[in-house]
């Protein structure tokens, strides 16, 4: 029964991501962020008062369905605020805060072990994220993609003022001048529609892109198994289960730091493959550790979590950088 809860949660995540992506692309990153951050507060509080196992499962699914996209939405919104040269640093800083969130979760569970009270303490404060609608600016890149250049310019000027930066005259002209309206070419809409439909066909027909798609998909499956498997396994190691989980979460941060140091210096592929190999070796060695040396098993578990966290961050950034234009390469 306890295992089924996890399966139901993942089913909600699977259903949530495409819906969140649609909301994010159609109505904006900020709207999607607020919805996915605030909605779980309602579902979580209701779940805390569940009167049956079936009711608990239903609201577990709804919780993940309305809130599972919050991380990806926040990740995209944050990376769209920084330049390409700061993408690796920005992505890994976000991942580090994710690790700190796991630490806080374990500490709260340690202090408040009863699940109903714990659920209320964890979920109720999330309703405060509604103020993000007024505190967080919309993604400039999303605004430009929707043709809202006026609002994008306002945000850029605000950012420049806050950072005490001066914009170049060329940039000022680009932001303030209205672009000349172009007369629609004959059959322009039909051509655009054909082009948008042909993108999927190009992807399917391109052996290189399909190969990368399959490799990245296999990476994500592997990352999910190993990353969450090690997190779950940490509570079964010798010693205090809360301390073990906290250590397993904290060790992710050095992994993200290694990702920052290696991705731009040695490349995405070399860094990712090295992390996968070292993680695999540490996990293969774990079953052969004698029970008389429990600290060695814990060390190998932490090493594996460090490396898989590094790989997780690297793959997250790598897959985000894949472009359809590479079809022509």
Q: Which two tokens stand for residue 78?
A: 């944050």
Give, as one character, the DSSP assignment of residue 251.
T
Q: Please, what is the Cα angle at 155 between 150 and 161, to 5 degrees?
A: 125
Contact 109, 47 (CB under 8 A): no
SS3 293: coil
Residue 315 CA to residue 301 CA, distance in Å, equals 21
Does pTM top 0.75 for this prediction?
yes
Phi, psi at residue 21, to the nearest 5°?
Answer: -60, -40
Phi, psi at residue 241, to the nearest 5°?
Answer: -65, -35
Segments in 177-293 forming alpha helices (H): 188-205, 207-233, 241-250, 252-266, 268-285
What is the pLDDT at residue 327? 41
Contact 141, 80 (CB under 8 A): yes
Give, as one character, the DSSP assignment of residue 174.
H
Residue 137 CA to residue 115 CA, distance in Å, equals 36
How many CB atoms are closer than 10 A to CB 110? 15
Contact 282, 303 (CB under 8 A): yes
What is the pLDDT at residue 326? 46
Burial class (CB in 10 A: 0-12, 13-18, 19+), 2: exposed
Contact 77, 91 (CB under 8 A): no
How many CB atoms are closer than 10 A to CB 127? 16
Residue 214 CA to residue 218 CA, distance in Å, equals 6
Positions of E strands within 55-161 = none
Per residue of the chain (329 residues), give pLDDT as tens: 888 998 899 899 989 988 998 898 889 899 999 999 999 999 999 999 999 999 999 999 999 999 988 888 888 888 888 777 777 888 888 888 989 999 999 999 999 999 999 999 999 999 999 999 999 888 888 888 888 888 888 888 888 888 887 777 776 666 666 555 555 555 555 545 545 556 667 767 778 888 888 888 898 889 988 988 888 888 777 778 898 889 889 999 998 898 888 888 888 888 889 999 999 999 999 888 887 887 888 888 889 999 999 998 888 778 767 653 444 44
Tokens 């009270």 belong to 117
How long, in residues, is the chain?
A: 329
């Amino acid at each position: 029964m306890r295992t089924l809860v996890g399966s139901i949660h993942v089913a909600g995540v699977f259903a949530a991501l495409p819906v969140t992506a649609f909301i994010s692309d159609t109505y904006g990153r900020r709207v999607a962020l607020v919805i996915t951050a605030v909605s779980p507060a309602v579902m979580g509080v209701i779940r805390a008062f569940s009167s049956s196992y079936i009711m608990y499962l239903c609201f577990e699914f709804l919780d993940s369905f309305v809130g599972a996209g919050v991380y990806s939405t926040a990740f995209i919104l944050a990376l769209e605020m920084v330049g390409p040269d700061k993408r690796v640093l920005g992505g890994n800083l976000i991942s580090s805060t994710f690790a700190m969130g796991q630490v806080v979760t374990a500490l709260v569970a340690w202090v408040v072990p009863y699940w109903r009270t714990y659920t209320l303490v964890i979920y109720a404060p999330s309703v405060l994220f509604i103020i993000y609608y007024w505190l967080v600016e919309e993604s400039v890149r999303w605004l430009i993609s929707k043709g809202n250049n006026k609002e994008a310019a306002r945000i850029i000027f605000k950012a420049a003022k806050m950072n005490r930066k001066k914009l170049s005259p060329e940039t000022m002209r680009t932001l303030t001048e209205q672009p000349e309206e172009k007369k629609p070419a004959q059959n322009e809409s039909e051509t655009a529609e054909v082009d948008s439909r042909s993108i999927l066909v190009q992807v399917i027909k391109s052996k290189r892109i399909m190969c990368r798609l399959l490799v990245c998909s296999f990476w994500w499956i592997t990352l999910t198994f190993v990353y969450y498997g090690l997190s779950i396994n940490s509570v079964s190691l010798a010693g205090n289960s809360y301390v073990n989980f906290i250590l397993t979460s904290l060790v992710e941060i050095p992994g993200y730091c290694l990702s920052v140091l290696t991705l731009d210096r040695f490349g995405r592929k070399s860094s990712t493959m090295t992390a996968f190999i070292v993680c695999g070796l540490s996990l293969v060695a774990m079953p052969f550790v004698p029970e008389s040396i429990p600290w060695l098993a814990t060390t190998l578990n932490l090493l594996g979590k460090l490396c898989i966290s590094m790989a997780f961050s690297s793959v997250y950034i790598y897959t985000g950088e894949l472009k359809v234009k590479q079809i022509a390469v």
